[in-house]
Structure 1
Amino acid sequence: MDYLRNLGSAAASSLLQKSGITLPFSLGDKVSYYEGKTIWTLYEATKRDDSSPVSVFYFDASLPNHRNLLPLARNALRKLRTIRHPDVLKFIDVVDAENTIYIVTERVQPLGQVLQGWASKSERAKEDWLIWGLHRISVALAFVNDSCQSTHGNIRVDSVFTSSSGEWKLGGFDVLSNAKDDAAVLYTLGGLVPESNMYSAPEVKKSGWSVLKEQDPQTTDSYALGLLIHSVFNPTHPLPPTTQPPHPPPAPSSRGAIPTYVFPCFKRLLNPTPKSRLSPKSFLAIGMRELAGDGAGFFCDNRLVSVCVGLDSFSLGSESEKTALLRTLKESAENFPPEFAAHKVLPSLLSALEFGGASAATILPLVLQLGKLVPPGQYSATILGPLVKLFASPDRATRMALLDHLEEYADKLDKALVTDKVWPHLQTGFGDTVAVIREATVRSIILIAPKFSDRIMNNDLLRHLAKSQLDPEPSIRTNTCILLGRLAPSLGPNTKRKVLVPAFGRAIKDTFVHARVAGLMALMATVDCYDMDDLAGKVIPTMAFTLMDKEKLVRDQAFKAMEVFVSRLEAHAATMVGLLIRCSCARANCSSSRKRSLAQKVKQRRV
């Protein structure tokens, strides 16, 4: 695999040197799976201006047998540029030289390559995903046939791609043509598409591609859609016998893994008579129960389809519809394909959260639940970025939901994000007129305090907490005292000496009994923050009066605190006594030594 990657990169470098063109993107690895399946070579790439991932479809007319295919490449470019639809491959940019064409699109993978990865998934999950994908292609094809009055002419697995969200995108516009277009390539060059005869409808096999000009635009695409259904459900099987003369209708034995509820429509799509063939639009209508038919409703009964339809109309839905959709998302979240959850569902929910349309208290837990399916490397961009942006929202329900669930994502916030993006908006909650917001703000601080800068911790935060200690709500005053006790080890030495005792002293004078208890417990919890002089001269005098508090709960806590403080002082005082004795002995020894020295000198003089 590494060899193939290196080979693709080498080929990309070679073609760039040969072309002499300055490209607005950096070519990466060649998608080896796609090589030789169409007239295009597919590369992964990144845009130079913003480093976003893209895909590049490359065509070189100078290659052997490619000169006569240049009209197909230019047709694909022209049609992809003009046809814009959510289910059509998204065109971004192009570099069009004389013999080479680089079409830049959203980053995609060939459907055939993705199908190989789904082979190991459960049958239920794979069937749900395939039906959802066929729904998107049916929508796109109905748009091409009806709104654009055009024939795609190249519907097959190799014309379908999957985006980062797992959604199927229609591409392969090499021969897409409008019957009114004088330069339409389908009717004259349709046979140049690789393996075109294999996927062509019976009427084309019989009379050639020009016969399509006289027919409805959808007839040949209907037949190809039927073959696409067979290919995605039975990727290892050959095409059904109906593709060869005399084109017998599909037998039940040819169903393979095609669901029984889809098989009746499958047979009608492959009807050898063009006028009797089921159109993509009718196939879509039967699947959505807009038209009666065998197995009707297989699209709208699919959970991925219903989720996408619900998300697309979420802002316009009734409260009952929103509630039902959110309940479905919550119950099925763990069974969603990870890419679908990360790049389809989550952006829609975050958009609803940002612009309103549902309760933040309901959506945010769901966002965090789905966020567990996001790869760690993408979590910051997918989840944290939008959530942090919501801290600036003036909507109190949104702010409250963010604070209530902060515990679930606080550990993933880095210091710069907290300091620059979260704190400037979070601190406004201390002065909110709604008490529940003020209290939630106080309670949330401990979760992100380790990410605060020294300036925030020792200055800005303490100013807010000083005001919170005077809050009219007793629960806020109590929680502020508890918070200060838990933050104490993180404060600077000078801050501890100046702030802690006065703050806890204020709490033990509070009229609310639990605030007084919290103050005493905070003093006990922070006993290591005081030196012995402060413990004896400030802490004990500050709390001594609580020994006679009118509430037994406070008195009991006061005696426990006093016992802790006094035992600390006794232990320290014992070391001081020992020190005094040693000092006295040292002085005594020193005095005796001097006396002996003096007596010795007197004796020497007498002699």
Structure 2
Amino acid sequence: MDYLRNLGSALVQKSGLNLPFTLGQKVLSFEGLYSLYDAVKREDGSNVSVFEYDLSDSTRPNFKAFAQNALKKLRTIRHPDVLKFIDAVESDTSIFIMTERVQPLSNALPTWISRSSQEREEWLLWGLHRVSVALTFLNDSCTSTHGRICMQSIFISPSGEWKLGGFELLSNIKDDTAILYNLGGAFPSSFAWASPEVKKGSWSSLKQYDSVALDSYALGLLLHSVFNPNHAAPETSLPPHPPPTAASRGSIPASMFNAYKRLLNPNPKNRLNPKGFLDLGMVDTGFFAANRLVKVCSGLESFSIASEAEKNFLLKTLKESASSFPSEFTTHKVLPSLVSALEFGGASAATMLPLVIQFGKNLPPEDYPKAIITPLIKLYASPDRGTRMALLDNLPEYADKLDKKTVSEKLFPHLQTGFTDTVAVIREATTKSIDLLAPKFTDRILNNDLLRLLAKMQMDPEPSIRTNTCILIGRLGPTLGYNTKRKVLVPAFTRALKDSFVHARVAGLMAFMATIDCFEAEDIATKVLPNVTFTLIDKEKLVRDQAFKAIELFVKKLEEYAKTMVFPQLF
């Protein structure tokens, strides 16, 4: 229904449906049963996918049953590895199912051809792991048979995660009238994944066997098709169903080949089931357990309850191996998990934040504020000192992405609490951060609120903080308002000249010199020099040397000014 795109998914004229999405490009069509579209959710503008089931063909009455079953099952079954249902719209001629944004596995596979063989194998193993987890959940927890495990029932999220969909034949094994038993053979191309017992008998014959027998066999066929997409179906899929030979392994990992053969056992009683396949892969040296993507995902999912040692090990792995992970994995899977974990704070924050910023560099510029800046700004309200210190230490990496409104209205109210923190390193880091943020402060903050805070910092117990505060005021001087300069700078620098810490006194002299253009000649003669001259006989040579340089600079400026003065003529 291409006309839907032209209408912007407003009012579908033929059906009278007011759709909660705007259809975009058609991604694929499957056997006349449904079409998959990229779409945008009208409520919030987020990217979604829409499956449109066309029920208008009266010669295909079974299609309505397939579509209704898919909607019913997808709406009620929730699992991280199952395609996420969002909304649906039904009419007599169509069913629209809105889900998270995905693309078909069949479309995604060719894009991995250009990747390295190791990267591609890791991604395929990770995907099969997620499918096995989802299938085990359906078989065991939901006491159901999926009935359609194949390339067309797997979808890929923006993070590269595999999501199990295709619920048109999903059936509860306790239901003798289930759609799988009665209409399985009527589903388009169902013979392609049918198990030997189905081909020998019928779909209803599945009632005689273990409920997972069909899914087990189909999982084996899926494994073959993703690792060997250009190969024909294995010979074992056709009578007399010979076992796969070593020569037919193709690109299937050797560590997985025996399990693969057991999935394709023609005898359903001896066939390896999805849970058994998953368990084999997750033993210490199993083909799933050894996969880096599986390890990282497992670590991220349990991060909040992990020990500090476990957290540090995961973060070390991410730091050392991040560049070798698929970019979509780090950007859309790892990055959101780390941002979420940052909310818990703790000692790991100092390690996590640089990773968040590193992975955020791969984001499109339009996504960066929402994905990175917004969560980081919220973290400034955290009472956890580890988190606050990490934010301040890494400020140079994201300061240029902050806008003036965000800094003044959302960041500064929380940042200013750092000036009065009982921990000196927080106070010092807060002081140093102002240099990066000052250009984005409002005039009121810069000329009033901030200077009051800095005046208190000049009396801090820590000598280094007093020194850095004086240096900071010197750098801020040229940006202050005219009246503020005349009122604040001389008292601030003079206070530093009387500090007991030698480097604070030197900083005061250097600040006077750095802001020489902020003073008018009259102020230099009547305010600056009188407050500086006593340092010419400071007990520390370092201060005396700097004092003579400062006096020389100011006197030279006064000499230049004096040359411009107009003297009255004498008659």
Question: Do both proteins adopt the same fold according to a TM-score greater than 0.5, normalized to the shorter chain?
Answer: yes
**Residue in structure 1 matched with residue 14 of structure 2 by the alignment:** 18
**Residue in structure 1 matched with residue 140 of structure 2 by the alignment:** 146
- The C-alpha deviation readout for 1:337-368, integer Å capped at 9, x for no partner, is 22221222122222222124652222222222
Q: Is the 8 A contact 2:345 2:384 kept in 1?
A: no
Residue 407 (structure 2) pairs with residue 418 (structure 1)? yes
Distance in 2, matches of 1:357 and 1:482, equals 32
Shift of 1:8: 8.0
Shift of 1:7: 8.2
**Residue in structure 2 matched with residue 472 of structure 1 by the alignment:** 461
Task: State which drifts further: 197-206 or 551-560.
Answer: 197-206
Distance in 2, matches of 1:14 and 1:268, equals 51
Q: Secondary structure at the match of 2:131?
A: helix
Q: Superposed, which structure 2 residues align to 1:166-565 within 5 Å?
A: 166-289=160-283, 297-356=286-345, 358-565=347-554
Q: Secondary structure at the match of 1:30?
A: strand
Task: State which drifts further: 439-448 or 365-374.
Answer: 365-374
Amino acid paired to 1:87: D
Amino acid paired to 1:542: N
- The C-alpha deviation readout for 1:200-220, integer Å capped at 9, x for no partner, is 111111112111122111111
Distance in 2, matches of 1:478 and 1:460, equals 20
Distance in 1, matches of 2:363 and 2:194, equals 41
Distance in 1, matches of 2:55 and 2:462, equals 77
- The C-alpha deviation readout for 1:463-506, integer Å capped at 9, x for no partner, is 11111112222211111100001111211111111111111111
Distance in 1, matches of 2:533 and 2:134, equals 79
In structure 2, which of residues 26, 29, 32 is the aligned counterpart of residue 30 of structure 1?
Answer: 26
Shift of 1:261: 1.2
Distance in 2, matches of 1:348 and 1:427, equals 29
**Residue in structure 2 matched with residue 293 of structure 1 by the alignment:** none
Identity of aligned residues (%): 64
In structure 2, the CA distance between the partners of 1:48 and 1:137, relative to structure 1 (3 Å rule), is same
In structure 2, which of residues 62, 75, 85 is the aligned counterpart of residue 91 of structure 1?
Answer: 85
**Residue in structure 2 matched with residue 164 of structure 1 by the alignment:** 158
Amino acid paired to 1:267: K
Q: Is the 8 A contact 1:8 1:30 kept in 2?
A: no
Q: Secondary structure at the match of 2:283?
A: coil
Distance in 2, matches of 1:379 and 1:120, equals 27
**Residue in structure 1 matched with residue 65 of structure 2 by the alignment:** 71
In structure 2, the CA distance between the partners of 1:223 and 1:169, relative to structure 1 (3 Å rule), is same
In structure 2, the CA distance between the partners of 1:15 and 1:69, relative to structure 1 (3 Å rule), is farther
Amino acid paired to 1:450: P
Q: Is the 8 A contact 1:111 1:162 kept in 2?
A: yes
Q: Superposed, which structure 2 residues align to 1:50-61 within 5 Å?
A: 50-61=44-55
Shift of 1:376: 2.5
Q: Secondary structure at the match of 1:365?
A: helix
**Residue in structure 2 matched with residue 594 of structure 1 by the alignment:** none
Shift of 1:11: 8.9
Task: State which drifts further: 512-521 or 50-59.
Answer: 50-59
Task: State which drifts further: 390-399 or 64-73.
Answer: 64-73
In structure 2, the CA distance between the partners of 1:357 and 1:569, relative to structure 1 (3 Å rule), is closer
Q: Is the 8 A contact 1:8 1:29 kept in 2?
A: no
**Residue in structure 1 matched with residue 5 of structure 2 by the alignment:** 9
Distance in 1, matches of 2:181 and 2:244, equals 28
Q: Secondary structure at the match of 2:99?
A: strand
Distance in 1, matches of 2:2 and 2:18, equals 22
Shift of 1:517: 0.3
Shift of 1:37: 4.9
In structure 2, the CA distance between the partners of 1:205 and 1:138, relative to structure 1 (3 Å rule), is same
Shift of 1:38: 6.7
Distance in 1, matches of 2:191 and 2:37, equals 27
In structure 2, the CA distance between the partners of 1:29 and 1:224, relative to structure 1 (3 Å rule), is same
Distance in 1, matches of 2:141 and 2:32, equals 26
**Residue in structure 2 matched with residue 136 of structure 1 by the alignment:** 130
Task: State which drifts further: 39-48 or 214-223.
Answer: 39-48
Q: Is the 8 A contact 2:8 2:22 kept in 1?
A: no
Task: State which drifts further: 181-190 or 499-508.
Answer: 181-190
Shift of 1:515: 0.7
Task: State which drifts further: 553-562 or 200-209.
Answer: 200-209
Shift of 1:199: 1.8
- The C-alpha deviation readout for 1:358-401, integer Å capped at 9, x for no partner, is 52222222222222233332221111111111000011121111
Q: Is the 8 A contact 1:135 1:299 kept in 2?
A: yes
Distance in 2, matches of 1:71 and 1:344, equals 35
**TM-score (norm. length: structure 1):** 0.90
Distance in 2, matches of 1:518 and 1:437, equals 21
Q: Is the 8 A contact 1:137 1:169 kept in 2?
A: yes
Q: Is the 8 A contact 2:345 2:386 kept in 1?
A: no
- The C-alpha deviation readout for 1:216-258, integer Å capped at 9, x for no partner, is 1111111111111111112222222222222221122222211
Shift of 1:113: 1.1
Distance in 1, matches of 2:415 and 2:128, equals 46
Amino acid paired to 1:247: H
Q: Is the 8 A contact 1:429 1:438 kept in 2?
A: yes
Q: Secondary structure at the match of 2:254?
A: coil
Distance in 2, matches of 1:410 and 1:6, equals 45
Structure 1: gaps (5+ residues):
291-295, 589-607
**Residue in structure 2 matched with residue 113 of structure 1 by the alignment:** 107
Q: Secondary structure at the match of 1:274?
A: coil
Distance in 2, matches of 1:495 and 1:527, equals 15
Shift of 1:10: 4.2
**Residue in structure 2 matched with residue 595 of structure 1 by the alignment:** none
State the structure with more CA Rg.
1
Distance in 1, matches of 2:330 and 2:161, equals 11
Task: State which drifts further: 517-526 or 238-247.
Answer: 238-247
In structure 2, the CA distance between the partners of 1:394 and 1:375, relative to structure 1 (3 Å rule), is same
Q: Is the 8 A contact 2:470 2:508 kept in 1?
A: yes
Amino acid paired to 1:526: T
Q: Between Structure 1 and Structure 2, how many residues are aligned?
A: 571
In structure 2, the CA distance between the partners of 1:378 and 1:37, relative to structure 1 (3 Å rule), is farther
**TM-score (norm. length: structure 2):** 0.96
In structure 2, the CA distance between the partners of 1:546 and 1:302, relative to structure 1 (3 Å rule), is same
- The C-alpha deviation readout for 1:98-153, integer Å capped at 9, x for no partner, is 23111111111111111121111111111111100000000001111111121111
